[in-house]
Amino acid sequence: MALQRLDNQTARRLFLDRHALLEQPSGPSKGADLLALIQRLGFVQLDSINTVARAHDVILYSRRPGYRAKHLKQLYERDRGLFEHWTHDAAMIPMAFYPHWHLRFQRDTELLRKRWRNWRRDGFEAQFEAVLNHVRDHGPVSSSDVGKDEKKGSGSWWDWHPSKTALEYLWRSGALTVVGREGFQKRYDLTERVIEDSLCPGRLNCDTQATVNWLCSAALDRLGFGTSGELAAFWDTASAAEAKAWCAEQLNSGELEEIEIEQADGKLRKVFTRPGTVAAAAKLAPAPNRMRVLSPFDPALRDRKRAERLFGFHYRIEVFTPAPKRQYGYYVFPLMEGARLVGRIDMKAERDADILRVTAIWPERDVKWSAARTRRLEAELDRVARFAGVGSVVFSDGWLRL
């Protein structure tokens, strides 16, 4: 029996719909409405680079233009609607998902102890008790509050002092919880003082299979379709083998079906989805024909290979690439128009000069950069400038790189 198939345009619409990018960017952007958006996405990745705004803020702004950084801070630190931990990277995660993180705590407990020993963080295990006692006695602390008699390194992740490493390990393994940030420096407190007991049913006896079921199901809900490997990678807690077994079981029971997705190059790829998804996808409206600036860490783009297969958009961040070897720039933002990724933009908020400076824009090879497209971009950049807190947009000479 032939598999059902989604053509590339319909697959894009389905994928963007699950990432809140198919509708017009508008709507309320704080409190319960902001939390609902983050629950829809699953999480928001954190990143410290601030050329225009930090990644998590750009992700939320691109869907809710009224959003401002203070809204996330209030939801996180005051309302406790979110907690901070890891998926594939550091992220803000809805507090309602906390019960499903006990498996992550258990696995990080084992994995990081071994891995960090091999990375020569000598002495960090001997600091566990002292660090916990310090937090218990003094309340929330940052890394600068512990290990004051220890030799401090560069501050980079590979050069932490032992007590800083202990703090991070105790957080990653669940004993501590991050309760906020000053600048971008984390503050830690005892988990029992922060997290409600009702959210900790698996603290001592985590139900692995129930957690894997939730992780895979929740990942599929947020992707629309995917391979077992993509489902495992979404939260980066279930193993590839666990996700593969889950898909096989769900397929056998009729809870999943296998379909084909047409990629940007016309090739077909087999994926799993829920029954009825193909028919529902056919009814989705077209994406709004508006230019959007996306974060390099947008959830729709963080799987670079999938973005390339689905949108034909090859993207690599060049932060760690030496300047002479960069193809584009230090921190280049993808540009989305409708259901297409039409180019990338190198820009920076120069706050001393009160401007958003656009250094360069590179259209994709199959995109004709018309005057109408420039007007749509200018309208979006005016909005981005207000979001970044600067007064105007300035284009450098030779900004359009054809």
What does the pLDDT look like over 271-299, one tens digit per residue?
999 999 999 999 999 999 999 999 999 99
- Kindly compute the dihedral angle of the four CA atoms of residues 34, 80, 87, 58, in this order, to the nearest 10 degrees: 40
Per DSSP, which regions of 245-374 are E strands? Answer: 257-262, 268-273, 291-293, 332-337, 340-350, 355-363
Query: Beta partners for 363?
Result: 343
Work out the number of other CB atoms within 10 angstroms of the CB of residue 184. Answer: 11
> Residue 321: what pLDDT?
94
Mean pLDDT of 63-71: 97
Q: Confidence band (pLDDT; 50, 70, 90) for 163?
A: confident
What angle do the packed helices 102-118 and 162-172 form, to 10 degrees?
150
> Residue 95: what pLDDT?
98
Query: Beta partners for 394?
Result: 357
Query: How many angstroms separate the CA atoms of 196 and 95, rounded?
Result: 10
Query: How many angstroms separate the CA atoms of 103 and 97, rounded?
Result: 12
> Residue 120: what pLDDT?
55
> Residue 155: what pLDDT?
52
Q: Calculate what percentage of the chain has a pLDDT beyond 90.
A: 85
> From the DSSP assignment, how many helices (H) and strands (E) are in the chain?
13, 13
Q: Residue 23 pLDDT > 80, yes or no?
A: yes
Predicted TM-score of the model (pTM):
0.94
Query: How many angstroms separate the CA atoms of 287 and 17, rounded?
Result: 9
Please name the helix (run of DSSP H) or strand (run of DSSP E) that holds residue 346, with its range, or none.
strand 340-350
Mean pLDDT of 319-343: 95
